[in-house]
Amino acid sequence: MQADKPNHHPSSLRWMVALSIVAVVVLAINFLDPPETDRPATSGKALGQAQQPYATTLPYRRDDDEYVGSASCRECHADEHKSWHESYHRSMTQLMSPETVQAAFDGQSHEFQGELFTMHRRGDEYWTSIESIDEANASPDSRDSQALHLRLGMVTGSHHMQVFWLPGMMGNLQIGFPFAWLVDDRRWAPRNSLFIRDPHTVISKENWNMNCIRCHTTGPQPRPNQAAQRFESRVADLGISCEACHGPAERHVERQQRLVRLPESERQAALDAEPLAIVQPADLDHVRSSQVCGSCHGMKWFDKSEEWTAHGFRYRPGDDLEQTT
């Protein structure tokens, strides 16, 4: 879909990044509780091997509690880890790379609300240029001299479609890219046309940190920082990983590492005597095992009184979902 050049009304999209990002952040922050600390997230904890300043736009890894990350499971559970790694759960949220992006960032341009988005690559990086069509039409060289050039960092989905996220320049705020890639059709489509909504709903600019983070990551903490007017979002893992269904594994890993160091003659008895400190959903009753899935697949809107924005959800696999949500 190559854009033509008719007259357009002034742009309503670039403000998301350039001007009214503040409004998006303030809207989210003013109705939420700030985290206990205003200490900025440590850039070295950004997921992946990205360099500054790009790294600061990505979610940070939780390093202060009971989550250990899916990589810690592989040593003892190689087959299960391999099966999970090949699943759509694992690839629900990923950093963008040639291994994770299926979409064509090949220089094609698409129009949205008076702006022209051109998707392209710079080596292994994925970028978009955002031009005002009116500004370009008025320019002798048909280019918008104030065009934005942004590197995209994250992708959601890998099965039927992939949606992408733009850096919001307010901590690691991520906002929705207006086009999504249809995997089977191998084409771009307007993102607003791909989700079923009440036709009377006013479509707002999408904020990953307060919405998709809930169920498309493991151990999410949105962490809007009201004092600094930024997000400092953290997760245990991008995607839906082992601890999303089995619960935080720090105590389990510590137990295993400690007990396997015992003399072989004592090891099995000690392993049998001490609880696993991990949840196996198949061993739960039918209500609690269903609630493990229902914590995401039966999701609803969350009340700010839960304080989940700062500390994450209270629910852990095996809990009564009705009492912790």
Tell me the DSSP string of 87-120. Answer: STTTTSEEE-STTT--S--SS-EEEETTEEEEEE
pLDDT of 198-214, one tens digit each? 888 777 778 999 999 99
The amino acid at residue 282 is: A
pLDDT of residue 174: 96
pLDDT of residue 301: 60
Report the distance separating Cα 212 and Cα 304, nearest Å: 16
Residue 281, burial from CB neighbour count under 10 angstroms (0-12, 13-18, 19+): middle
Report the DSSP pairing between strands 109-112 and 115-122: antiparallel
Segment 289-292 long-range contacts (CB within 8 Å, at least 24 positions apart): 291/319, 291/320, 291/321, 291/322, 292/245, 292/317, 292/318
pLDDT of residue 306: 62
Helix axes 250-259, 264-273, angle to 10 degrees: 150
pTM above 0.75, yes or no: yes
Report the distance separating Cα 69 and Cα 252, nearest Å: 12
| Residues whose CB is less than 8 angstroms from the CB of residue 150 and which lie 6 or more positions away in sequence, other chains included | 17, 127, 128, 130, 166, 167
**Gyration radius of the chain over CA positions:** 22
pLDDT of residue 205: 77
pLDDT of residue 14: 58
The list of the chain residues with pLDDT below 50 reads 1-11, 15, 18-52
The phi, psi pair for 182, rounded to 5°, reads: -85, 115
